[in-house]
Chain A
Amino acid sequence: MSSPVEPANDTHATSGTGRSVRFRVSRFKQGDRKPHYQEYAVEVAPETTVLDALTAIRRDQDPTLILRHSCYHASCGTCGMRVNDTEVLACVTEVTELGGGPVKVDPIANQRLVADLVTDMVDFYDKFTAVDQPLVRGSDAIPAATVPPGVPGFTRFENCIECGLCLSACPIVATDPRYLGPAGLAAAQRVLEEPREADAFSVLRLTDDPQAAWRCHLAFECTAVCPSNVDPAGAIMFLRRRLASDRVKSIFGSGWRP
């Protein structure tokens, strides 16, 4: 039985293309003192992604390479990693876009390393669930779509895909575990935007904390790396505007007093 895609037409191919790219992949197993790099050569086609290449390494060269992925189309957020020192989703990062040099692949930073490219997301969810679960919002992803009669508009689940790239890119998360962090604060801002059943007041109070909205130092790196346009830094600044104006109002006797 032939493969569903002829090798010559497979734009994601990892063999038979003649163009070889070196990968320096971070390796770590439980018990290791610290990670080290291991090099692999992978042949790439014009649209081979980093995830294609890593799965090819695992399949053809080294079955001990541990990585995590699911959907292959930037929806699930599980293949977040650092490629050439920038946080990306490996499934939508094409190798040919990275220049000709060796491709450095690390797990996302500031999380507990489980093995190779896999980190434990427990810290992420600890912060994320501190606020409230995210809600739904109007979709601006497909403006051309026709809305069926009787439906006010399409909605999609909250933009955040919980990949953890923002925590990896944030300089403050790099040193201080107490900071609530970009993802959690962006979720808080969503609750305030669209409270539904949630208690927006207590969420706002939660963010008015030296370890929450006021801890951000405006590097905006979370927003720069976010693959889903959540704009966590912008969300934090809007939280602060709300908190600052409430503070000013409380001076004049109206609004919320802390």
Chain B
Amino acid sequence: MSERATGAGPGLDFRARGERVSPRRRGAWGWVDVRGRRLGQWAFILNRLTGLGLLVYLFLHLGVLSMLAVGPGAWDGFVSTALTPAFLALDVVLIFGLLFHGLNGLRITLVGLGLVVNRQQALFVALMVFGAIALLIAGLRIFAVG
């Protein structure tokens, strides 16, 4: 090890200086930086972002439901607010998050257990096509009721 290919004199021998092995990791930037990456990185980071977004939504949702404990006025007031176009647009964002995270999660579960490993990219594309169609139908329905 002392004759490493770095040709290092003692000044370059970071182990002798007691340095940690890998100080130059990319950090969480390596999760979100999709430049030069393929589909898999997009799936990875979108899964993370939709997951965190849905978790935030879960707690918002639970908070909003507390209006049911307040009484009929509070809840029915919220229902009419929720039918405004701005809220309905947010519903479409929510459905996107649910569909992406759910369908990609299905791929992760199957492939992560060693199933359809060699066709995993095709599986991803197929699930996303299905998701896009479902999102379109859901979006049309949401704005039809509004």
Contact = CB atoms under 8 A, between A and B. Distances in A.
Q: Is any CB of A less than 8 Å from a CB of B in the complex?
A: yes
Interface in B1-39: 4-6, 8, 11-12, 14-15, 21-31, 33, 35-39
B114 A242 contact: yes
Given A174-B30, A219-B40, A219-B44, A244 B22 contact: no
Contacts of B25: 109-110, 173-175, 177
A241 interface: yes
Interface stretch (B64-72, B115-123, B129-137): B115-123
Contact of B118 (A118, A234, A241): A234
Contacts of B113: 237, 240-241, 244
A256 interface: no
A85 B35 contact: yes
Nearest to B28: A175
A250 to B, nearest CB: 16
B40 A112 contact: no
A171 interface: yes
Interface residues of B, number: 41
Contact of B21 (A109, A112, A216, A238): A112
Contact of B120 (A84, A174, A220): A220
Contacts of A120: 4, 6, 14, 21
B12 A86 contact: no
Contacts of B31: 171, 174-175
Given A118-B6, A174-B30, A234-B117, A110 B22 contact: yes
